[in-house]
Amino acid sequence: MEKGGALVGEGGHVTRLYRRRWLMVLLFSSYSLCNAFQWLQYGIISNIFIRYYGVSALAIDCLSMSYMLLYIPLIFPVTWLLDTRGLRIIALIGSGLNCLGAWIKTGSARPDLYPLTLCAQLICAAAQVFILGMPSHLASVWFSSTEVSTACSLGVFGNQLGVAVGFLLPPVLVPNIEDQDSLSSHIRIMFYGTAAVATLLFAMVILVCHGLSLRQTTLGVYVFSLVGMVVFTFTLDLGHLWIIFITAGCLGFFMTGYLPLGFEFAAELTHPESEGTSSGLLNVSAQVFGLIFTTAQGQILDRFGIQAGNIFLCCFLLIGAIITGFIRSDLRRQRANQEVAQAGALQYHTDLREMPTPLLASDP
């Protein structure tokens, strides 16, 4: 039961809600932004770095792919560390590795130091493993049950904004970019910039749609993502840049805005397992499918063109929407929180009734 700035839990135990919990989310979002920025900072202007380091396109692609490849083997020990040692050690290691990788990159800005750049990127990729699983766990530990979704969305927001900044800053800072790369980067900026805004807005969606089940909201956003992908696919060849920007923005709004909903729904379905475990498994599946779809999409683009590749993605989004429709809305964490709150409230009022009445001054 919430009482003022505290929570009354089982046995009347009072857990305070500290005001600095919002500062904690802000700090996490900040270094999550810094880490996400470094994911694609080389790939977005790959033609420049190919010439600068004198390496192949595959070598530059490896810098961004390292984030996906390193996540899969490291997530299991990191999840164990999160469950056994807590948020503090995870936050310190993640932010420390991110800072170290960034400084090494600064020292690797020489044409003969590509191996050092790769080493620095691997360090930042390792930091990502510590960072990505934190939002849902941070929200669960520091916030009340009515604030969990908002806090999780704020945590995810930092990562999405970092990706958008990663697409925006390199083209601005490095002027000699080919037109095709510039157009591609603008579309990606629109996608991820809108996605960052959507991450915050969907925190409000969860609150506004309190009467709907989390399953209905999740399914609705998934279906809109599918519709957005279909519209984007069949308007891409119309030759109007403003249409591409609008459809890419709408697609990013729903597709990446799905992230906080997915984290929250997974935490509800897998309770009492740790939020770090559920979010870690979700991120692992994202990395695995990301590698599979990136490879398959590249082959389809080379052989059949852009539209065929996008139709391929639409088909799998349709399959995902159908599967989501069959998921039961078993909100275990909410039910457990309500039971604990009710038990705590009952114990709290019982203790008040059983307290001895103080003697009056007129009593003998």
pLDDT reported for residue 362: 43
Confidence of residue 192 (pLDDT cuts 50, 70, 90): low
Return the higher-pLDDT residue of 130 and 244.
130
Residue 208 confidence (pLDDT) above 60: no
∠ CA 269-275-278, nearest 5°, is 60
Give the CATH H-level superfamily of domain 23-346. MFS general substrate transporter like domains (1.20.1250.20)
pLDDT reported for residue 126: 92
Structure tokens at 179: 């037109």
Residue carrying the six token digits 């519709």: 227
Structure tokens at 268: 């509800």
Among 317, 326, 312, 322, CA closest to 226: 317
Confidence of residue 354 (pLDDT cuts 50, 70, 90): low
State the Cα–Cα distance between residues 330 and 213, nearest whole angstrom.
10
Residue carrying the six token digits 């591609």: 184
Strand 2-3 relative to strand 6-8, pairing: antiparallel
pLDDT reported for residue 174: 60
Global pTM exceeds 0.85 = no
State the Cα–Cα distance between residues 221 and 232, nearest whole angstrom.
16
Residue ranges of domains in the chain: 23-346
Residue carrying the six token digits 């941070």: 138
Residue 228 confidence (pLDDT) above 70: yes
Confidence of residue 121 (pLDDT cuts 50, 70, 90): very high
∠ CA 352-354-360, nearest 5°, is 90
Each residue of 85-110: pLDDT tens digit? 888 888 899 989 999 998 998 888 88
Residue 256 confidence (pLDDT) above 60: yes
Each residue of 142-186: pLDDT tens digit? 887 777 777 777 777 777 777 777 666 666 666 554 444 454 555
Beginning with the edge strand found earlier in the chain, give each strand of the sheet holding 2-3 in spatial order: 2-3, 6-8, 14-16
Region of residue 330 (left: phi > 0; alpha: psi -120 to 50; beta: else): beta
The b-or-e profile of 48-86 (16+ CB within 10 A means b, else e) is bbbebbebeeebbebbbbbbbebbeebbeebbeebbeee
pLDDT reported for residue 204: 52
Each residue of 20-56: pLDDT tens digit? 888 888 888 888 888 888 887 887 777 788 888 888 8
pLDDT reported for residue 259: 75
∠ CA 137-126-22, nearest 5°, is 35
Least confident of 147-151, 302-306, 325-329, 350-354: 350-354
| DSSP state letters, 132-159 | HTHHHHHHHHHS-TTTHHHHHHHHHHHH
pLDDT reported for residue 219: 85
Q: What is the mean pLDDT of the chain?
A: 75
Each residue of 284-322: pLDDT tens digit? 887 788 778 877 877 887 788 888 888 888 898 899 889
State the Cα–Cα distance between residues 269 and 218, nearest whole angstrom.
13
